[in-house]
Every structure is written in C-alpha cells, then in structure tokens.
Amino acid sequence: MKVLGIETSCDETAAAVVEDGRRILSNVVASQVDLHAVFGGVVPEIASRAHQECIDAIVQRALDDAQTSLDEVAGVAVTCRPGLIGALLVGLSYAKGLSLALGLPLVGVDHILAHVYACEMAAPELQYPYLALVVSGGHTSLFRTDGPGNVELLGESLDDAAGEAFDKVASLLGLPYPGGPNVEKLARLGDPSAVDLPIPRCKRPFDFSFAGLKTAVLYKFRGVPGRRAPHVPPAAADLAASFQDAVASTLVRAIRRAVAASGCTQVAVGGGVAANGHLRARLGALREELGITLVFPPLRLCTDNAAMIAGLGYHQLVAGELADLSLDAAPTSRRGA
C-alpha cells in the first residue's frame, strides 16, 4: 500500500512515497535555508510563500522518483500539527485538494510523532517499548513508545528547544544560520570544560530547559549587565564547546533517568540536533556504561522530511483514523493544545 506524504510545517517543503509504512520509494526535500539565512532565523511569511511556490513540483518529483502515479496511491498523509500555521496550511490545503479531486483518503499526522516513527523506519530491529528523544529546532521531547504513534510523553522542553538554543548561541557568537552545525564546528577547536555553565534543572525529572543556559552563555560572552568589573570574555571556541557539552549533559541526564525509571533498554534519538557529533559521543559513552541499544536514524530521516509522515500516515490509514475536509492545522501538538 503506497502512501503519499506531504510536509510543510517549517522551512522544508517535502513530499515522499512510502510503501507499507517502511519502504521509502522517494523522499524529496526542498530546503528554504538560504531564504531565511539573511534574517538569522525562519520568517513565517516567507516560509509559507516558498512552500506555495514549490509544493506542486515537489509532489510531482516525489511521484516521479517513486515511479508511481496518483491512481496507485492509497492515501495522502499530511502534517497538520505542530508548526508554523501558515506553512502548515499550504501542505494541508494541497493535500485536501488532492483528496477531494481524486477521492483519496486523507490522514492528518503529528510531526513530532512522525519524528519518533522515523527511528523505527531506520531501525526495524527496534522493539517496543523504546525511548525516543526528538531533539530539533522546534522540539525537545522524550517519549516512551509502545507502537506506531502510540507514545507517552515523559518530558519536554519548558522553554527553548535544544536546536533553537544552538541557533541563538550561534547568532550571539556571530556564526551564520542555521547555527547548530556552525557551533559544532567552532566547538571542535575549544575545550568543553573551559567555561563553567549551569546544567539546567527542572522540577520534573525528564523535562528540559535551555533558556537559562543560553542567557548564561550571553553573560559569559558579553558580561553581566550592570556589573562594573572589567569583563574578559572567554575564547568563542571554548564557549561553544562548553555550551555544546552542557546541552549534551542535559539530554544524557534525562535519558539516564528514563532508562532507570522505565526499564527500557533501547533508545532512539532523532531530529536535526541528533546530527551533533559531540552529543553522539556522549550518548555512545552512556550506551557503553548502561549496556543499552542506541539508534540514530540517518540524517535524511533525522531532519524534517515527508517519508516519516507517509510512514506513520500508513499506520493511521490502516487503523481507519481518517480525516475529512474539516481537518485543521494547529501550532501545537494535541498533548499541549
């Protein structure tokens, strides 16, 4: 059963065809990163317009790459939450149009649950239950997963997402957008123990907070406002390395606690920040220490894509969780709405 997936929740226009929830026949992603780089972050209006301009061509390419015609498609799965509302509406309207015109079943998919499902697509050996950490520009959430889309939220960021913190720290250090890869590059030249930064604490054991860490980096770099003593900023590379290590420590701590509390011995980590080599090394050390299984999907499934939408959409389609034309876009996940 082939499902067409459509994803436009942020700054990637993506379409994919996936067979039986697993076999990726095509996975096309058009990144808008160059359009937003000059502004140092995603500009919602520009994102919506760019989606509108290319969605038709991207869907067509996904069908062509998969050598599939629309009459072979069993359903259309589209991201309906969470994301930028104008951006989501472009994909949603397009999917509704296809569904209405061709009589195709329509499925609305939660983007974050699809990030979790991407781990299963990449590593079919994962057994339920497993822990999934989704760590990207828009989300930092830790789940226990008991089936496709069947998750329990254990904890999430109470303020900035980890990737957002990387992007803000990058901008502070004068590095271009998107900041994560550039902070990582600079951090390779620095000492992660050089700058004393707080490891953020939250009341609940699996929650995260990155806003205070970001402010601590700001004060280390520019000095504390109002303080008279002369300020000698640390080397930018040391600050980048120390920040990156503090983010990794927060994520490693939550996973360590969740493994102990849940008894799950399999952990999957997805989202753009999962590309970070230092985080991977720290989690690798945790794997050795605890004897757990650790899964990182390949980057094309870690970052925003429509294969994960089509993949999870297949299971919703089979379960009869169909949407109609009243399906609406929402800026938050259902859990937080």
Closer by beta carbon to ligand KG4, 136 or else 316: 136
Closer by beta carbon to Zn ion, 55 or else 217: 55
Pairing of strands 150-156, 140-147: antiparallel
Rounded least distance, CB 198 to ligand KG4, Å: 19
Edge-first strand listing for the sheet containing 150-156 = 150-156, 140-147, 130-135, 266-270, 293-295
Closer by beta carbon to Zn ion, 192 or else 313: 313
Among candidates 129, 126, 58, which has minimal Cα distance to 90? Answer: 58
Tokens (6 digits) for 312: 């999870």
Q: Are 1 and 138 in contact (CB under 8 A)?
A: no
Rounded least distance, CB 315 to Zn ion, Å: 19
Q: Which residues bind ligand KG4 (CB under 6 A)?
A: 10, 136-138, 163-164, 166-167, 178-181, 184, 271-273, 275-276, 303-304
Closer by beta carbon to ligand KG4, 118 or else 123: 118
Q: Look at residue 98 and give the partner it binds from ligand KG4, Zn ion, none, a contact being a CB closer than 5 to 8 Å depending on partner kind.
A: none
Q: Look at residue 166 and give the partner it binds from Zn ion, ligand KG4, none, a contact being a CB closer than 5 to 8 Å depending on partner kind.
A: ligand KG4
Among candidates 249, 247, 219, which has minimal Cα distance to 233? Answer: 219
Rounded least distance, CB 69 to Zn ion, Å: 29
Rounded least distance, CB 302 to ligand KG4, Å: 6
DSSP, res 129: S
Closer by beta carbon to Zn ion, 99 or else 136: 136
Rounded least distance, CB 139 to ligand KG4, Å: 7
Cβ neighbour number for residue 289 with a 10 Å cutoff: 10
Q: Look at residue 179 and give the partner it binds from ligand KG4, Zn ion, none, a contact being a CB closer than 5 to 8 Å depending on partner kind.
A: ligand KG4
Query: Rounded to an integer, what distance in angstroms lies between the CA atom of residue 45 and that of residue 169?
Result: 24
Query: Rounded to an integer, what distance in angstroms lies between the CA atom of residue 304 and that of residue 269?
Result: 14
Closer by beta carbon to ligand KG4, 105 or else 192: 192
Q: Look at residue 180 and give the partner it binds from Zn ion, ligand KG4, none, a contact being a CB closer than 5 to 8 Å depending on partner kind.
A: ligand KG4
Closer by beta carbon to Zn ion, 116 or else 213: 116
Q: Look at residue 5 and give the partner it binds from Zn ion, ligand KG4, none, a contact being a CB closer than 5 to 8 Å depending on partner kind.
A: none
Among candidates 197, 203, 173, which has minimal Cα distance to 185? Answer: 173
Rounded least distance, CB 224 to ligand KG4, Å: 26
Closer by beta carbon to ligand KG4, 104 or else 301: 301
Q: Look at residue 137 and give the partner it binds from ligand KG4, Zn ion, none, a contact being a CB closer than 5 to 8 Å depending on partner kind.
A: ligand KG4
Query: Rounded to an integer, what distance in angstroms lies between the CA atom of residue 332 and that of residue 337?
Result: 6
Rounded least distance, CB 283 to ligand KG4, Å: 13
Q: Which residues bind Zn ion (CB under 5 A)?
A: 136, 304
Rounded least distance, CB 252 to ligand KG4, Å: 15
Q: Look at residue 44 and give the partner it binds from ligand KG4, Zn ion, none, a contact being a CB closer than 5 to 8 Å depending on partner kind.
A: none
Burial class (CB in 10 A: 0-12, 13-18, 19+), 11: buried
Within the chain, residue ranges assigned H as helices are 33-37, 44-65, 85-102, 111-122, 162-172, 179-187, 211-222, 236-262, 277-290, 299-302, 307-318
**142-146 contacts at long range (C-beta below 8 A, 24 or more positions apart):** 142/206, 142/254, 142/255, 142/258, 143/116, 144/258, 144/262, 144/264, 145/116, 145/120, 145/268
